Chain A
Amino acid sequence: MYELRAVEKKFPGVHALKSVDFKIARGEIVGLVGENGAGKSTLMKVIYGAYQPDGGQILIDGKAVRFANPRQAMEKGIGMVFQEQSLIPNLTVMENIFLGYQEQFTRLGVIDWKAMAAAARKQLAKVKLDIDPRMVTSALSFAQRQLVELAKVLTLEERVEGDLVILLDEPTSVLNKEEVALLFKLVRELTSRASFIFVSHRMDEVMDLSDRIYVMKDGQVMDVLARGQAEAPEIQRKMVGRDIDREYYREQKQVPYDADKVLLELSGVGISGRIEDISLKLHAGEVLCLVGTEGSGREAILRTIFGMVQPAEGEVRIDGAVQPRLTPGSAVARGVGYVPRERKIEGIVSGMNVYENMTLSQLGRYSSWGVLAVGREKALARDWIAKLKIKAHSEYADCGNLSGGNQQKVVLAKWRSGGSRIVLLDHPTRGLDIGAKEDVYDMIREMSADGVGVVLVADTLEEAIGLSHTIVVLKDGAIQHVFDCRPGAKPSLFDLLHHMI
């Protein structure tokens, strides 16, 4: 039904798509996997009309078509559900659903809100979302917004003759387990109305949902696998071209922590509505993992330790000393480092180069009387670029142009070079490809071998189990259970899930 034949796309210096063939049949769900930079997003942009291919053909029902922009693609039934949610938060749900297509409800420029609300309700029913379409979008949960976005794309059904192809770009990244299950159920039901292209970093989800999986690497389709034809390790091997061994999480490098040396202690910490009565200890060399669903209080704990929020109750002790009024500034001064989830917003300053980013948290150390020692800064950056094998042409490289994995290395180098002894990692591997993930795991192991205490919020439960010495399971802001995770005696997924939900 929808087909790409030998599609090519080149950018200056990059051959992003090399003769890609792609096919999707009516009612089919096709998974698309590949490392960062494998060409997935370029392929998607070609499909929904944001990029025009340099060579090859796009065929719909055997007829060649060409899209100058996404709107033209939409008119042929191709819709995109964006990863970064593209709803406008201060508009109502129905305005968002019909944004750009209000004419059907207008007469002489005046909008018939009742008709729009009725039509919006009809769309929301398709995704089984029972909300008032007059609600302001910002009042919805992430999961609800995702569904509204899907409903918005499904309006194509009424507008377009012929079949729909809907792209889902990392739709599950902000959803919890149950929400994911609901979404998948819905997508399967909707295959009676549309075909889906599903892109995700989470291999298990892709394998669960897709009828066929396209594996991409270096701008090429490496393989197309039908459901049940391959196991996750095999697909991953095709993605990276090498084996992900059993030592993926570097378990052999996990050494016992120093139980006598408490770096950080929370006792009875509470913030109304977020967390309550949180008590935990972080020892030198320990990787302590906070596990829980979105909103279970993991983030609030990290932010409390870093002084970004003040606890209403309880105490935070660093090296045994009570910290009554912790700010990010004083936390850094006491050896706390924070690697936030939003790398682009809180991780690196794009526009600043590598050495400027690395010393940002420790300018005091690289200056006297407010005057910078730029030579020493550069030496430090060169040192860490070599040590962590950061792919940057030099210490002058703009961090905004580095890949996600290399940006993350710069952020970690920033804290490690500053001598941080307590490092808070919030989803440090989110959005990284497998190779870059392994580098991050290596760094975590090295840090803990050096006696650094790490508080980790992991991207997946497997990662949490693999990496940690201790797992603290949270639910609704309270600690449910604490697991000891010595190698060989690690808890199973089920053990954790049991306490999470």
Chain B
Amino acid sequence: MGGILSRENIIRWAALLVLLALIALFTALNPAFLSQRNLARIAIAAAPAMMVALGVTFVIVMGSIDLSMEGAVSLAAVLFCLLFVKLGGALLPWGWLAVPVIVLFGAFYGMLTGLVHVRLKIPSFMASLAMGFVGTGAAVMITGGEIVRIGDSTFRMLLTWRILGYPLMVYVAIACIFVALFIQKHTVLGRNFYAIGGGEELAHASGVNVRAVRIAGFALAGAFYAIGAIFQVAKLGQAEAATGANFMFVSITSVVVGGVALWGGVGGVWNAVVGVLIVNVIANGMVVIGLPNFLQDGVLGVLVILAVVLATDRRAVAFVK
């Protein structure tokens, strides 16, 4: 065991190597890929998905799964727009208040998902899937199917104000990644996620309040979904019931491609970050080299299977259900 080619090292670095290889490949096919403008485009496209992926990473590390992100993002985006408009429609003097309120709302929504999962003992995939539909439904109901717009130029600076060629949103996203890393490495909550993912019985027998940690994990995920929703609104300048569409597949694909194990306890924020970049580089690269749009989903699907195949120690798990 041990050595450079140990499983731990492969899991840690394989995804990054894949990312670098992809960048090299697309650049070779079309040098415009590596232009600063295109990289900025990738970064902007990746920012909201990154937040959602970070959120779901914590849940997956616990050994659960959260499929509520589409509904959560839609509902948070719609509520954010409505609240922002209600608070004057401009970031100053009061519009900014919508940001913390919506992040808290996201946490509350995630907590509800967690409560449904833990208290009613419904498997997490089912509980979260259902809560996701509830969110989409609520978003439709609130908007009546309409689009809600935000025109405030100060708020849109998240997208329009560029530092070194990258919009502000990208820097905020990077800050959020560091927050997530800090939670993973340096907080009791982060440690407990890994303990539960690695051995739930044991965590229980060590006096860890497993139910509370699970609920907290879903709440944390919800908060990150809400940040993702705010980014998405800043990007599009509007929100509707379909704002969250597509986030489920992209975020879970990213997390898995990055090397977070679906059975819990393995991988983390770093893997999610690399995974999101891989998925976005592929999506962007296929456009740059002129592949038809409809191929993208297919390619991503194949990618997930490949990633799981590579990351799974199939000698250890003889059969899976």
Residues of A within 8 A of B (CB): 12-13, 306, 308, 327-329, 331-333, 338, 340, 342, 345-352, 356, 360-361, 363-364, 367, 370-372, 374, 401, 414
Contacts and interface: CB of A to CB of B under 8 A. Distances in A.
B188 A351 contact: no
Given A13-B1, A363-B192, A364-B188, A345 B201 contact: yes
A356 B201 contact: no
Interface of B is mostly: helix
Interface residues of B, number: 24
B198 A349 contact: yes
A332 B206 contact: yes
A13 B3 CA distance: 12
B1 A12 contact: yes
Contacts of B207: 328-329, 331-333, 361
B186 interface: yes
Interface string B164-195: 00000000000000000000011111111011
B206 A340 contact: no
B187 A370 contact: yes
B291 interface: no
B87 to A, nearest CB: 31
Contacts of B191: 356, 360, 363, 372
B202 interface: yes
Contacts of B106: none
Which of A12, A327, A351, A361 neighbours the largest number of chain B CB atoms within 10 Å of its CB? A351
Most chain A CB within 10 A, of B185, B204, B206, B208, is at B206
B201 A367 contact: no
Contacts of B187: 367, 370-372
Given A13-B1, A370-B187, A348 B205 contact: no
A13 B1 CA distance: 8
Contacts of B185: 372, 374
B289 to A, nearest CB: 40
25 contacts: A12-B1, A327-B209, A328-B204, A331-B207, A338-B205, A342-B201, A345-B202, A346-B201, A346-B205, A348-B202, A349-B203, A349-B265, A351-B266, A356-B195, A360-B202, A360-B208, A361-B207, A367-B187, A370-B187, A370-B188, A372-B186, A372-B190, A372-B191, A374-B186, A414-B206
B189 to A, nearest CB: 6
B186 A345 contact: no
A300 to B, nearest CB: 15
Contacts of A327: 209
Contact of A351 (B1, B198, B201, B205): B198
Contacts, number: 83
Contacts of B195: 349, 352, 356, 360
A338 B187 CA distance: 24
Contacts of A374: 185-186
Contacts of A360: 191, 195, 202-203, 206, 208
Contacts of B203: 349, 360
Interface in B195-222: 195, 198-199, 201-209
Contacts of A328: 204-207
B198 A350 contact: yes
A329 B210 CA distance: 10
Contacts of B199: 345-346, 348-350
A351 B265 contact: yes
A155 to B, nearest CB: 23
Interface string B26-53: 0000000000000000000000000000
Contacts of A364: 188
A352 B198 contact: yes
Nearest to B204: A328
A340 B198 contact: no
Contacts of B205: 306, 308, 328, 338, 340, 346
B181 to A, nearest CB: 13
A364 B191 CA distance: 12
A338 B199 CA distance: 15
A82 to B, nearest CB: 14
A348 to B, nearest CB: 7
A360 B190 CA distance: 12
A363 B188 contact: yes
Contacts of A348: 199, 202
Interface in B269-320: none
Nearest to B194: A352
Given A342-B201, A346-B199, A370-B187, 11 more contacts: A306-B205, A328-B204, A328-B206, A329-B207, A338-B205, A348-B199, A349-B265, A360-B206, A361-B206, A372-B191, A374-B185
Nearest to A328: B207
Nearest to A359: B191
Contact of B186 (A306, A308, A371): A371
Nearest to B265: A351
A400 B201 CA distance: 15
B266 A349 contact: no
A334 B189 CA distance: 21
